[in-house]
């Protein structure tokens, strides 16, 4: 790994004192930015990276004084990194990263990559120009800091329309660690993650399934605890292992725990479904099962060809996009599914409020999109759009939303 010559890192906790910054949903920007900055300061010290903190308490600082403190420890040369920590407002969702006009996007992109691995979606990495003079940066933290490499990070929205609110409250340290890792990697310093008894470092050959199996938890629990939206892992990635309750888990009547001697065929036969449906509901790519594995079962009703109104979470889904898709609300989805947070995991089964989803049809031998569309008085194009199909091919057991 090539090492970049860096004199030091300056951590700026935005706002402070009388300047609250953005506020909402129990989040105050000046406090969150300070907690993130203090965490980074401690961790960079532990890694042996020279670091200075602009403020370590709740004090009011003018822009001029902030710039003076940024430049005081290491000067204003290009071998100084400046990280300015913020939280956003405006009703959107996700992190934003702004780098100076004088710099390339290498450090900013590395920070974005690590934040995404830590479970936060990044909406954009960009530069912003001053409207009155487009040759200058919009933010003074970029404009007035000499030749340094300043990066302004908005970690999420206090008034998010999705899950930033809970992430800013519960995951700020995880995101701060992600930026620490990005800085260490960028300058070519050895990175050692901060571990506790509930942490695990991903090794070559690991998968979510193998890690979950090792700790006696489910893949869904592991993904939820780490804010993961896909099954992809990276060697060296640090995962939080959720603590297990001493109380026996309460399971709904559509979750089955695999026992000795079980197979997908025997479970499907027992519950009046098919192997194809079980594999689709649970995101399985093979017929292999493990003892203790949790399987979602389709909820049956009295209809000959339908299952209860449920939706299987896919990559990129959020409660907001699902609510929009089925003409309902996030609050109704959370209430119906007894959700305490808006975190979702791929393969999770959500109940949809009555009247929102329409019909669900399970493909049988001899079916075609044309015959199904004709049966329900709709069109092939409508079914393909509703189910995001790119071809007319169907498979037996496939679930279609009508």
Q: What is the pLDDT of residue 253?
A: 54
Domain co-membership, 289 together with 268: yes
CATH code of residue 379: 3.10.350.10
Domain co-membership, 205 together with 182: no
Centroid of chain to Cα 233: 13
3-state secondary structure 279-326: HHHHCCCCCCCCCCCEEECCCECCCCCCECCEEECCCCCCHHHHHHHC
CA angle 198, 44, 120 (to 5 degrees): 55
Q: What is the pLDDT of residue 246?
A: 41
* Backbone φ and ψ of 255, nearest 5°: -120, 130
In a domain, 142, yes or no: yes
Query: Which residues, listed in sequence order, are joined to residue 239 by a DSSP beta bridge?
Result: 200
Percent of the chain, pLDDT > 70? 88
Q: Which has more pLDDT, 323 or 124?
A: 124
Residue range 191-205: average pLDDT? Answer: 78
- For the chain, the average pLDDT equals 84
Residue 358 has pLDDT above 80, yes or no: no
Q: What is the pLDDT of residue 34?
A: 97
Cα–Cα distance, 194 to 289 (Å, whole number): 34
Q: What is the pLDDT of residue 308?
A: 46
Say how many domains are in the chain. Answer: 3
Note the pTM of the prediction, 2 decimals: 0.55
Residue 312 has pLDDT above 80, yes or no: no
In a domain, 193, yes or no: no
Write out the residue range of the structural domain in which residue 235 sits.
199-240
Instruction: Find out whether 223 and 39 touch, Cβ atoms under 8 Å.
Output: no
CATH code of residue 44: 3.40.630.40
Tokens representing residue 57 in the block: 């308490």
Stated as kind and residue range, the H or E segment containing 108 is: helix 106-117
Weakest-pLDDT range from 6-20, 26-40, 216-230, 292-306? 292-306
Residue range 235-262: average pLDDT? Answer: 67
Compute the CA torsion angle 233, 234, 237, 243 (nearest 10 deg). Answer: 20
Domain co-membership, 234 together with 160: no
Domain co-membership, 278 together with 236: no
CA angle 330, 227, 105 (to 5 degrees): 110
Domain co-membership, 274 together with 208: no
Q: How do residues 270-284 score in pLDDT, each as one tens digit?
A: 777 777 777 766 777
Domain co-membership, 268 together with 397: yes
Closest to 310 in 3D by CA, of 267, 281, 345: 281
In a domain, 171, yes or no: yes
Domain co-membership, 26 together with 169: yes
Domain co-membership, 213 together with 314: no
Instruction: Find out whether 108 and 42 touch, Cβ atoms under 8 Å.
Output: no
In a domain, 247, yes or no: no
Domain co-membership, 133 together with 207: no
Q: What is the pLDDT of residue 382?
A: 81
Domain co-membership, 26 together with 130: yes
In a domain, 3, yes or no: no
Domain co-membership, 25 together with 155: yes
Last residue of a domain, one of 163, 187, 211: 187
Domain co-membership, 84 together with 16: yes
In a domain, 245, yes or no: no
- Which range is most confident: 189-198, 217-226, 249-258, 304-313? 217-226
Tokens representing residue 172 in the block: 């700020």
């Amino acid at each position: 790994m090539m090492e970049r010559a860096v004199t030091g890192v300056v951590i700026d906790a935005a706002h402070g004192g009388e300047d609250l910054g953005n506020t909402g949903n129990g989040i105050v920007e000046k406090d969150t930015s300070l907690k993130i900055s203090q965490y980074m300061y401690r961790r960079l010290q532990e890694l042996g990276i020279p670091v200075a903190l602009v403020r370590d308490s709740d004090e009011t600082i003018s822009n001029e004084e902030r710039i003076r403190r940024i430049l005081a420890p290491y000067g204003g040369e290009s071998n100084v990194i400046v990280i300015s920590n913020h939280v956003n407002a405006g009703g959107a969702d996700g992190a934003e990263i702004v780098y100076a006009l004088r710099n390339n996007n290498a450090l900013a992109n590395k920070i974005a990559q690590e934040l995404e691995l830590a479970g936060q979606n990044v909406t954009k990495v960009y530069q912003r120009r001053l409207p009155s003079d487009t040759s200058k940066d919009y933010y003074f933290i970029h404009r007035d800091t000499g030749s340094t490499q300043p990066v302004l990070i908005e970690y999420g929205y206090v008034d998010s329309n999705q899950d930033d609110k809970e992430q800013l409250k519960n995951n700020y340290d995880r995101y701060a660690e992600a930026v620490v890792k990005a800085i260490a990697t960028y300058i070519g310093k050895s990175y050692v993650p901060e571990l506790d008894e509930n942490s695990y470092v991903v090794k070559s050959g690991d998968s979510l399934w193998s890690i979950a199996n090792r700790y006696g938890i489910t893949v869904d629990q592991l993904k939820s605890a780490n804010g993961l939206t896909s099954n992809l892992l990276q060697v060296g990635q640090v995962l939080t292992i959720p603590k297990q309750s001493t109380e026996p888990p309460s399971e709904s009547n559509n979750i089955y725990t695999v026992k000795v001697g079980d197979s997908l065929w025997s479970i499907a036969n027992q519950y009046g479904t098919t192997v194809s449906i079980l594999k689709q509901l649970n995101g399985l790519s093979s017929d292999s099962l493990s003892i203790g594995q949790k399987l979602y079962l389709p909820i049956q009703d009295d209809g000959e060809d339908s299952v209860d109104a449920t939706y299987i979470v896919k990559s990129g889904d959020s409660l907001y996009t699902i609510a929009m898709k089925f003409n309902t609300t996030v609050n109704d989805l959370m209430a119906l599914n007894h959700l305490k947070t808006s975190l979702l995991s791929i393969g999770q089964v959500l109940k949809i409020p009555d009247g929102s989803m329409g019909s669900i049809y399970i493909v049988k031998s001899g079916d075609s999109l044309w015959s199904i569309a004709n049966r329900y008085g709709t069109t092939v194009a409508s079914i393909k759009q509703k189910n995001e199909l790119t071809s007319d091919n169907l498979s037996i057991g496939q679930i279609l939303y009508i």
